[in-house]
Amino acid sequence: MAVRQIVTLPNEVLRRKARKCTEFGEELQTLIEDMIETMRQAPGVGLAAPQVGVSERVIVVEYRDEEKEDIPPKLYALVNPEITRVSKETVSGTEGCLSLPGLLGDVERPGAVMVKGYSRRGQPVTIKAQGWLARIFQHEIDHLNGVLFVDRAQRVWKPESAEEAAAFD
């Protein structure tokens, strides 16, 4: 496992639609392990392969329910994820991004989503997510399509403190 460099704009890989993965071999397993380590070291709550310069449809997400602090965070590693359903209800929330350091934005997104994809070993996976977890999945899957949160934001700003910035990476 290795921490990879997180790419930032204007790197063109962030604006490119990522390729579907067709192989679930060692190269993919190494990429996923490196992405998990990189996300945790950053620290962040999610990371898409294009953010480490790899134009493939892979995301990792680590989520802890704030109301259940005694339960360890849940780690998701998804290959070829896609959002198949969204709620009609939308929620505005503040987002940041490891590939856009120093920026935050208010983004309106569906409050709940259904995500389908494959586990790191190629098994079909379906996840129903709501709230903050749904927002993270939407943010990371946007990366796979070359879309950044600033493209969807109603308002973008530079945080006033390092503490404010860290809260949304």
First-last CA distance in the chain: 22
Q: What is the pLDDT of residue 164?
A: 60
Residues 130, 87: Cα–Cα separation, whole Å? 9
Residue 131, classed as helix, strand or coil, is helix
Residue 6 lies in a domain: no
Domain count for the chain, please give it.
1
Residue 3 lies in a domain: no
Domain that holds residue 29: 12-166
Q: Of 26, 140, 163, 164, which residue is the catalytic one? A: 140
Q: What is the pLDDT of residue 101?
A: 95
Q: What is the pLDDT of residue 49?
A: 98
Q: What is the pLDDT of residue 167?
A: 52
Peptide bond into 110 cis (omega under 30): no
Our answer to whether residue 140 is catalytic in this structure is: yes
CATH of the domain at 73: 3.90.45.10
CB 116 within 8 A of CB 137: no
Residue 18 lies in a domain: yes
Segments in 15-157 forming alpha helices (H): 26-41, 131-144, 149-152
User: What are the beta bridge partners of residue 129?
Assistant: 113
Segments in the chain forming alpha helices (H): 26-41, 131-144, 149-152, 162-166
Residue numbers of the chain with a pLDDT score lower than 70: 162-169
Residue 154 lies in a domain: yes
Render pLDDT for 16-31 as a digit per residue (tens, 0 to 9). Answer: 999 999 999 999 999 9
Render pLDDT for 130-160 as a digit per residue (tens, 0 to 9). Answer: 999 999 999 999 999 999 999 999 999 998 8
Residue 32 lies in a domain: yes
